[in-house]
A and B are shown apart, each in its own frame.
Chain A
């Protein structure tokens, strides 16, 4: 609720909450004890990947010295979410707000060449690459894959190379978790068409990052969004089904 003074000095009440609620950037209001008083829809999704304590700690660290609001530019990465700035504010002793600003997505200028792409069951490529990985390593490997994922267009050779490199960066990791799923409700625009995304994540307690540049360039060439972190490689693969 906000109180707005008009020219005629009349006071009317307006509800801004829904504008905050449906903003694409996450917004969280903490109490002075670190409890969440309010969070918008985008923040709700973010909490699937970031902890409350972590975000509260960030808010405290970057809070302005005096009452007011302070914007700080920094890079924060949670899974596939990348933020380039945050703003922290408080106007009383009880409430502290944190707003995170999404990094604008880089739009791939090239349209994927579908000539080399063949309808493929991604699970087969993934399992074949795991078998290859197992010829060289004995690490524990858990696979949680959506076996019903329908075939889609993949440059099989190129994608296998990318998978080999990505898995190879986990050659010394203790236990590797691989998940493969179709992202619900998320799309990317390819050639002005809404395309669904297949999410492949490989995570472990640590990994080698010597081939990251190559992995990223292989992914970019295949129009796959690649996020590399200290512990994980996440690939967001366009779910291209036909030539229409």
Chain B
């Protein structure tokens, strides 16, 4: 059975309320940002219920005629929610936002607002660990030690962007020089265009080379020695690539 992990008090109360009403014929809606686990929560609470997307009004209506327990995901996508009748049904809906508050208020007995991932710091830690483990297994990096604190976690799109930032970090960690050459090859192959390609593309190599050197050596003089090029040439290149 799928489990749902959270340390958020608010979500614990939502789960409690759902557990209490599990056998009752009431309609509930979970409202919150995209990718915060609304569908996972609904699925965890009602593993046997039929799930249908609000993007298909016709299917929702036909299911309402014969089934008494339905999960309607993306409720905001329904074209005509007013037409639905939830009498004596167990309806669990999820919505990223509310388009018509009065309709939601009329249709649903229980209206829950689920907090975004940013409001649940402990959940971020848990999910990060989970995604790292998942990525390690998928990318065959099980033996590699990953320091989560070093990952720049992206929460702009909640779970989705969090997962993406972890996968990207892990892929980058495991990349070989051959991979880089291969990637550059693909890039140049598709981006050759017109004239002056040398000047256009050389920055892909030179910019990170100089930036990393500046960070490592701290001065242009030391870097010019390390690179084995003239100080003036280096200064010209810094100016050319707009490195500040």
Contact = CB atoms under 8 A, between A and B. Distances in A.
A220 interface: no
Nearest to B105: A161
A222 B109 CA distance: 14
Given A116-B87, A157-B109, A131 B17 contact: yes
A124 B20 contact: yes
Interface residues of A, number: 19
Contacts of B14: 131-132, 135
B46 interface: no
Contact of A128 (B17, B25, B27): B17
A159 to B, nearest CB: 8
**Size category, B interface:** 20 to 34
Interface in B52-92: 86-88
Nearest to A165: B105
A132 B110 contact: yes
A157 B87 contact: yes
Interface in A127-175: 127-129, 131-132, 134-136, 156-158, 160-161, 164
A164 B17 contact: no
B17 A161 contact: no
A118 B23 CA distance: 11
Given A118-B88, A124-B20, A128-B20, A135 B113 contact: yes
B153 interface: no
A140 to B, nearest CB: 15
Nearest to A163: B109
16 contacts: A118-B24, A124-B24, A128-B21, A129-B17, A132-B14, A132-B111, A135-B14, A135-B17, A135-B112, A135-B113, A156-B24, A156-B25, A156-B26, A156-B109, A157-B88, A164-B109
Given A124-B24, A132-B111, A135-B13, 9 more contacts: A120-B24, A125-B26, A128-B20, A129-B17, A131-B14, A132-B110, A156-B24, A157-B87, A160-B110
